Amino acid sequence: MSLFDLTHPISPATPVFPGDLPVGVRTVATHAGQGYAARRIDLGTHSGTHVDAPAHLLPHGAALDDLPLDLWIGPGILLERADLDAAPLPRAGRLLVRGCPDGITPHEARRIAASGARIVGVDGPSVDPVASRELPAHRILLGAGIPVLENLRLAGVPPGPGTLYCLPLPVAGGDGAPVRALWRREPAG
């Protein structure tokens, strides 16, 4: 049984959507100066490894605090993007897809929504191409009530079944939030 951290560390190097403000981390107290260490973090709700709630694009979509807590922890499967065209998609609950630097297609998003997935996660900055203005994959998935995890670190994680532990910061009325995402790979067999 292996545990993988899928989360980008919070630092000025944290990936953000192109055009978003970078993450800021600054020292506000030091052991030498104040007798303790403290930093201030400045980041957007869609910085680094994060979740998009339906409220991100849908005016009456569910906000983070409207979503059930049991959504964030449970069984799932990690697939390669090429496997999204295989029929049928497994009823995994939580679906992580590796190989999505430019998002997924609307066709793939519809297949995922029809599969019964409760969450879908990708290793790219967005489930849509960065230049997209219409955001069709977002609209399909969020419209089906499926939160989207973006900027997952999936390199080196073996595909197959596992358990996702994904805890978003509890932003009240949140359209999204940074998450700590862990994946426990189930043993083969």
What is the 3 state secondary structure string of the chain? CEEEECCCCCCCCCCCCCCCCCCEEEEEECHHHHCCCEEEEECCCCCCCEEECHHHCCCCCCCHHHCCHHHHEEEEEEEEHHHHHCCCCCCCCEEEEECCCCCCCHHHHHHHHHCCCCEEEECCCCCCCCCCCCCHHHHHHHHCCCCEEECCCCCCCCCEEEEEEEEECCCCCCCEEEEEEEEEECCCC
Q: Which residues form the catalytic set? A: 56
pLDDT digits (tens, 9 = 90+) for 81-123: 999 887 678 777 999 999 999 999 999 999 999 998 999 999 9
Domain membership of residue 119 (yes or no) is: yes
Domain membership of residue 40 (yes or no) is: no
Structural domain tally of the chain? 1
Q: Confidence band (pLDDT; 50, 70, 90) for 188? A: low
Domain membership of residue 129 (yes or no) is: yes
What's 179's domain CATH number? 3.50.30.50
Considering the entire predicted model, what is its pTM?
A: 0.94
